[in-house]
Amino acid sequence: MTTSPSTAPSSRPAEDGTRYDAVIVGAGFGGLYMLHALRRLGFSARVFEAGDDVGGTWYWNRYPGARCDIESLQYSYSFDPDLDQEWSWSERYAPQPEILAYANHVADRFDLRRDIRFATRVTTARFDEDAALWEIETDRGDRVSGWFCIMAVGCLSNANIPDFPGRDEFEGPVLHTGQWPHEEVDFTDMRVAVIGTGSSAIQSIPIIARQASRLTVFQRTPNYSVPAWNRPMDREQEREVKADYPGLRARMRGRPTGFFFPFNIDPALGSTPEERERQYEEFWGRGGLPFLGAYGDLLFDADANETAAEFARNKIRSIVREPATAELLCPDNVFGCKRLCVDTGYYETYNLPHVHLVNVSDTPIERFARDGVVVDGTTWPADIIICATGFAAMTGSFERIGITGRSGLTLAEKWRAGPRTCLGLSSHGFPNLFMITGPGSPSVLASMIQAIEQHVDWMADCMAHLRDIGARTIEPGAAAEDAGVDHVNEVAGVSLRSTCSSWYVGANIPGRPRVFMPYIGGFPIYVNRCNEVMDAGYEGFIITGGAPAAAPPEVRLTERWHVPVDIDVISPAMVAARQVPVV
C-alpha cells in the first residue's frame, strides 16, 4: 500500500473557454507571487495547483523534521515592507508548518485564493500560433487560454520514487518525503526503513529514531552534513533586521548565493593546517550552509576542498562511536558537490542501539518483500518504508505536462539532450511561455524566494512592456539562447559542483542526460544580465506585433533589482562569468 496526501477535489464545474492574460501553473511561492505581481500591473490570471492548497514544497513535504536551511529571516518574500514587519518567525530555521502558515498568510493577506483552482493538475499546454494564445487543459476538464503561460511548477516538485521490485508485495505503507500524508504518522513501536541519505532523510532520521523500535537506513551515497545549531529566534537579532530589512536584502543580493552569511574570501591552502583547523571549527560552530564561507575557494579548488572534506569526516568519526559505521558515513567525494545537508543530531543517531546503517552502494536494494527490504539476500524487517529518494529535479514537473510550442515542437523533444533556455526564463520556439526559476538560472543555487521574486518581477514587467507597445509575442532568439546555454555550461565547468553525480546534473534519475542545470555564475551577475537585457529592449529576444518601442521599457516591479549592489564576495565562477574584475 502506498499512502499519499489526500487531493480529493471539492466538486466544481470545469472552466471552459475563459481567456486570461496569464495562466499560471503552481501555487508555491513562485505562483503566489506571480499572481500578485500580475494583479498589481492590471493583468488577469488563473492559477492551477495540483495540491489542495497553497505552499508548494511546504504543502507537500510534511515529513518529520522538515524545515528550511536558509535562515528564516532571509527565507521570506521581500516585495512588501509591511509583510516583512508583521510576520515573526519562531526559530532560526523555520519548521515546515510555520513556512506553510506563512504561505497561507500571504495568500489570505493579498486575497490570492479566489484566482486559484486547487486539486487541479495541468496536463497540456499548447501554443495556438494563429491566436497567439496558450491553450491549457487540466485533469478536471478545464480548457482555458492565456496570452502567457507561466510555469511556476517548482524545481523540486516531482517526487522520484524508484521502481523497486516487489513494491506491491510489501504489506505496510510506503511513503515518499515529498508526498507526505496530512495525518501525523506515528512510528511508535514500528520497524522503519528509510531509503536515502539526502537532506530530507538527514532531517527526518533523528526524529523518526526517537519513536521507532527499529530504524534501518539504506545508504547508497553518504552525504556531508553540518549541524544547524537551530535555536529559538533571537528577538534582538530580529529587531535589528526589521529595523533595516532593505539593508539585509541588499546584502543578500550582493552574494553569489543570494543570501547573506559571513564569508572569508582567502584560499584555504594559504593558511597553515593549524589555522585551517581553527577556521573550520569556528565556521562549524556557526553551523549550516555558512560553513562553506570558511574559505573562498572550497568549491573551486580540489585540494582546498579536500581540507574541508577531511575536517567534516573527522567530525563524523568523532561523533559516531562504531568505527565501521563512521567510515560508512564518511563521503569520499567533493565536499558540497552534492547539496550540503544541514542537520540536528543526524550522526549522533547512529549511536542508538536500534538504528542500523545498510550500505547499498555496491549491492543495491534487491526488492521489497512482504515484511521488509531485501539487500544481498538479507531481509531487513520493516513495518513501514520511507523513500527519501529525492526528486526529478529542475525539469521533472515540466516533463509531466505536454507542452507544445510553435510548429508542433514539444518541450520534451527540445530538451531531450538537456534543458535549453535563455536565462532560465523562456525557451526558443515557445513564445510567451515563462518558467520561474527555470534551468539556466541561479534557482536552486540561490536562496529560492529571492530567485523567484527576481524572475517574477522581470516577467511581469516584460508583459507590461508588450502591452505598452501592443505586441503579441516574445521568445528568445536562437542565437541568444545558444550563447546563453554555452555560457551556463562553461561557467559550470569552473565549479567542483559539476564533478559528481548529483541531482544538479540529473544523475539521480536513470537515463537523464548529464547536464549541469542551474546557473552557477552567481546571483548578482545573473540579475545584472537580466537587467541589461530588459534595458536594451529585451535584447536577444524576438518580439512580434506592435509598434517599435519609442523608449526603453518602463522599469516597474524590477525597479528594486535595478539598484547597484555591492558584490562583496567574488567567486571564481563569477570571474568566469567575465563580468567582475579579478581581485
Residues that bind ligand NAP (CB under 6 A): 68-69, 156, 162, 177, 195-201, 203, 218, 220-221, 339, 342, 360, 365, 388-391, 444, 503, 508
How is residue 439 annotated by DSSP?
B
CB of 4 to ligand NAP, least distance (A): 15
49 vs 98 by CB, closer to ligand FAD: 49
CB of 202 to ligand NAP, least distance (A): 7
Cα distance between residue 485 and residue 438, in whole Å = 12
Pairing of strands 365-369, 133-138: unpaired
CB of 551 to ligand FAD, least distance (A): 33
Q: Which of ligand NAP, ligand FAD, none is residue 471 near (CB under 5 to 8 Å by kind)?
A: none
Residue of 43, 57, 263, 280 interacting with ligand FAD (CB under 6 A): 57
In this chain, which stretch among 68-76, 265-273, 365-373, 517-525 interacts with ligand FAD, using CB under 6 A? 68-76
Q: Rule CB under 6 A: say whether 212 interacts with ligand FAD.
A: no
CB 399, CB 184: distance < 8 Å: no
Cα distance between residue 160 and residue 388, in whole Å = 9
Residue found by looking up cell 545558444 in the block: 482
Cα distance between residue 198 and residue 339, in whole Å = 8
Q: Nearest CA to 484 among 524, 436, 529? A: 529
CB 76, CB 248: distance < 8 Å: no
**# chain residues binding ligand FAD, by CB under 6 A:** 38
The angle that helices 96-109 and 29-40 make with each other, rounded to 10 degrees, is 20
Q: Which of ligand NAP, ligand FAD, none is residue 258 near (CB under 5 to 8 Å by kind)?
A: none
Cα distance between residue 96 and residue 61, in whole Å = 8
Residue of 106, 152, 194, 505 interacting with ligand FAD (CB under 6 A): 152
Q: Which of ligand NAP, ligand FAD, none is residue 51 near (CB under 5 to 8 Å by kind)?
A: ligand FAD
Which 352-411 positions form the footprint of ligand FAD (CB under 6 A)? 397, 400-401
CB of 64 to ligand NAP, least distance (A): 12
In this chain, which stretch among 148-156, 212-220, 298-306, 484-492 interacts with ligand FAD, using CB under 6 A? 148-156
Cα distance between residue 388 and residue 64, in whole Å = 12
Q: Which of ligand NAP, ligand FAD, none is residue 280 near (CB under 5 to 8 Å by kind)?
A: none
Q: Which of ligand NAP, ligand FAD, none is residue 508 near (CB under 5 to 8 Å by kind)?
A: ligand NAP
Q: Rule CB under 6 A: say whether 195 interacts with ligand FAD.
A: no
Residue of 56, 65, 476, 553 interacting with ligand FAD (CB under 6 A): 56
Residue found by looking up cell 534582538 in the block: 236
Residue of 35, 64, 71, 75 interacting with ligand FAD (CB under 6 A): 75
Residue 136 CA, chain-centre distance (Å), reads 25
Angle CA(126)–CA(33)–CA(538) in degrees, nearest 5? 60
196 vs 336 by CB, closer to ligand NAP: 196
194 vs 212 by CB, closer to ligand NAP: 194
Q: Rule CB under 6 A: say whether 73 interacts with ligand FAD.
A: no
Q: Helix, strand, or coil here: 407?
A: helix
Full DSSP string of 24-81: EE--SHHHHHHHHHHHHTT--EEEE-SSSSS-THHHH---TT-B-SS-TTTSS--S-H
CB of 209 to ligand NAP, least distance (A): 17
* Stretch (H or E) spanning 328: helix 323-329
Q: Rule CB under 6 A: say whether 113 interacts with ligand FAD.
A: no
CB 29, CB 448: distance < 8 Å: yes
Q: Could you give the C-alpha distances from 566 to 251, 318, 348, in angstroms and in order?
A: 7, 40, 41
Q: Rule CB under 6 A: say whether 543 interacts with ligand FAD.
A: no
199 vs 404 by CB, closer to ligand NAP: 199
CB of 528 to ligand FAD, least distance (A): 21
CA dihedral 36, 95, 230, 76 (to 10 degrees): 0
Q: Which of ligand FAD, ligand NAP, none is residue 197 near (CB under 5 to 8 Å by kind)?
A: ligand NAP
Residue of 23, 37, 69, 491 interacting with ligand FAD (CB under 6 A): 69
Which residue's Cβ lies closest to ligand NAP?
A: 198
Cα distance between residue 367 and residue 218, in whole Å = 12
Q: Rule CB under 6 A: say whether 292 interacts with ligand FAD.
A: no
CB 268, CB 259: distance < 8 Å: no
Cα distance between residue 244 and residue 242, in whole Å = 5
CB of 189 to ligand NAP, least distance (A): 26
Here the cell at position 379 is 531481509
* Stretch (H or E) spanning 251: helix 245-253
CB of 167 to ligand NAP, least distance (A): 12
SS3 content of the chain, % helix, strand, coil (to 5): 35, 20, 45
153 vs 423 by CB, closer to ligand FAD: 153
Q: Which of ligand NAP, ligand FAD, none is residue 365 near (CB under 5 to 8 Å by kind)?
A: ligand NAP
Q: Which of ligand FAD, ligand NAP, none is residue 390 near (CB under 5 to 8 Å by kind)?
A: ligand NAP
407: left (phi over 0), alpha (psi -120 to 50) or beta: left
Q: Which of ligand NAP, ligand FAD, none is residue 436 near (CB under 5 to 8 Å by kind)?
A: ligand FAD
CB of 339 to ligand NAP, least distance (A): 3
Q: Rule CB under 6 A: say whether 573 interacts with ligand FAD.
A: no
Amino acid at 319: I
Q: Rule CB under 6 A: say whether 466 interacts with ligand FAD.
A: no
468 burial type by CB count under 10 A (0-12 exposed, 13-18 middle, 19+ buried): middle
Cα distance between residue 374 and residue 193, in whole Å = 11
Q: Rule CB under 6 A: say whether 146 interacts with ligand FAD.
A: no
| Residues that bind ligand FAD in the complex, under the rule CB under 6 A | 25-31, 48-51, 56-57, 59, 61, 66, 68-70, 75, 121-122, 152-157, 178, 200, 397, 400-401, 436-437, 447-448, 452
